[in-house]
Amino acid sequence: MPWTRNDALVAVGAAAVDLTGFALASQSGFGRVPAVGCLLMTVSALPLLARRRAPLPVLGAVLLAGLGLNLSVPTPQHFNAAVVVALFTVVRSRGPAVAVGAGLASAGVPLVGLTRWPPPAVDVAASAASAFLVACAALVVNRWQRDAEAHRRLLADRAVAAERRRIARELHDIVAHHITTMQLMAGGARANLAGDPEVVREALVELEGSGRMALREMRQLLDVLRAGDEPGPPAGDEPGPAAPGPWIDAPQPGIGDLPRIVAESCRAGLPTSFDVRGEERALPPSVGLAVFRIVQEALTNARRHAAGARTSVVLAYGATEVRVDVADDGRGAGPDAAGSATGTARERAGGPGYGLVGMRERVALHGGTLDAGPVAGGGFRVAARLPLALADGRAS
C-alpha cells in the first residue's frame, strides 16, 4: 500500500486547516472565496499521502502547488499547514544540509507571486520564523525519539541481564542439589562397604548418574554466565544470589509441577486445560525447569491480557525434543479482553516483567525455538521447542 491511514488523516487534516484559513482570509480581505483557490489549496495537500516514502519530492510538490495558488488567485496566506507537514517530515528524515535547503525553500517559495512585491518585511520575517520553528520542532522530536529508543534498549538489555542472572541462580540450585545428592550417596556407599554389596552398587550407580547430570547442568550454568559477561545494575536493582539452604530439600520446579500451576490458573479465573502427548519420560532438570517457567509466564500473561479466556497447555514428548504450547482464545470477559483478541506480541511483551525476553533466553540456552504472537480469530499463542539431543550430547 503506497500510503497508510495515518497519512490520509494527516493529508485531510492539513487540507481542512488550509481551506478554513483560506476561506476566512479571502472572505475578510476580498469579500469572496475563489473556487479555484479552494481547489488548488486541496490539491496542495494531496502529495502528503506519500510524505513517508518520498519526503523531499513531496515538499517540492507542495511548494509548487502553493506557488500555483499564489500566481492564480489573490491569497492573503502563504505558509500553510501542508508546507508545515512536508517540511517537518523532510527535517526529520534527512540530514542537516538537506534540512537547511528545505527550510530556505519553504520560507522563500511561498512569498513568490503575492499581491505585493517585494513582500513586506513582516511577511518575510513571519515566513522565515515559521520555517525555523517547524525545523526546530522536528529536531526536538528526533532527539526525543533517539533518547526514547536508547532508553528502551537499555531497559531491554537490563531485562535480559536480569533474566540471565535469574536462570544462573536457578541452575546453581539444581547443580547444588545434585552435588548434595552425590555427597549423600558417597557417604551411604562408604558406610556399606563391609555390608551389602548390592546397596553399594545402587549407591554408586546413583552417584554416577548424579555426577553426569551435575556436569551437564554446570556446563549450562557456565554458558549463561559467559553470555552475561556485562556489568550488573546498580546495587539495589537486583536481589543478590540465592541464600544456601532451601535447595537441599526443595530443588527447582519441573515438569511434575505443571498440573499444580494449571490448577492455580483455573482457581485464578482462567479456565485452563492440560494435555500431555507422547510417551512421558524423565527430562534433564534444566529442561524441565525451562518448560515450567515458559508455561508459568505464558499463563501469567494470559491472566493479565485475556482474563477469563479459555486457555490450553499442551506438552508433547518427541523422540529428540519436547514441545510446549500455551494458547488462549482471547475472548475473556475481563477488562482487557477486548484488546486481547487483536493484541500484538509487543503488547504481550511490553509489561514490566519482560516475559517473552525470559522465555527466549531460556529456549536459546537449550538451542530451541520460540514462537509467540497473536493467532487468527483472536487470542495469543506461545509455542516452544526444546531439543533433547543437544542436552544429552552435552553430557558426553
Tens-level pLDDT at each residue, the chain (396 residues): 577 888 889 889 988 988 888 888 777 767 777 888 788 888 888 888 988 888 999 999 988 888 888 787 766 666 788 899 999 999 998 888 888 998 888 888 877 766 566 667 777 888 888 889 999 999 999 899 889 888 888 887 787 777 777 766 666 666 665 676 666 667 767 767 767 777 777 767 777 666 766 666 666 666 656 555 544 444 334 334 333 343 334 456 788 889 988 888 887 778 899 999 988 888 888 888 889 889 988 888 888 887 778 899 999 999 889 999 999 987 543 334 333 333 334 344 444 345 677 788 788 878 899 998 888 878 899 999 999 854 444 433
Do 85 and 52 form a contact (C-beta atoms < 8 A)? no
Q: Which amino acid is at 377?
A: G
Give CA–CA dist 310/302, Å, rounded.
Answer: 9
pTM of the model: 0.48
- What DSSP designation does 75 have? -
Give CA–CA dist 356/345, Å, rounded.
Answer: 9
Task: List Cβ neighbours of 51 (8 Å cut-off, separation of 6 or more).
Answer: 7, 10, 58, 85, 86, 89
Give CA–CA dist 29/32, Å, rounded.
Answer: 8
Provide the pLDDT for residue 370. 92
Provide the pLDDT for residue 314. 94
Provide the pLDDT for residue 172. 66
Other residues' Cβ atoms within 10 Å of the Cβ of residue 284: 22
Provide the pLDDT for residue 136. 92
DSSP state string for 239-297: --SPPSSHHHHSPPP-GGGHHHHHHHHHHTT--EEEEEES------HHHHHHHHHHHHH
- CA end-to-end span of the chain, whole Å? 54
Closest CA to 360 of 167, 114, 108: 167
Closest CA to 365 of 166, 131, 134: 166
Provide the pLDDT for residue 37. 79
Give CA–CA dist 254/173, Å, rounded.
Answer: 13
Provide the pLDDT for residue 244. 39
Do 368 and 385 form a contact (C-beta atoms < 8 A)? yes
Give CA–CA dist 361/225, Å, rounded.
Answer: 12
- What DSSP designation does 48 have? G
Give CA–CA dist 261/252, Å, rounded.
Answer: 14
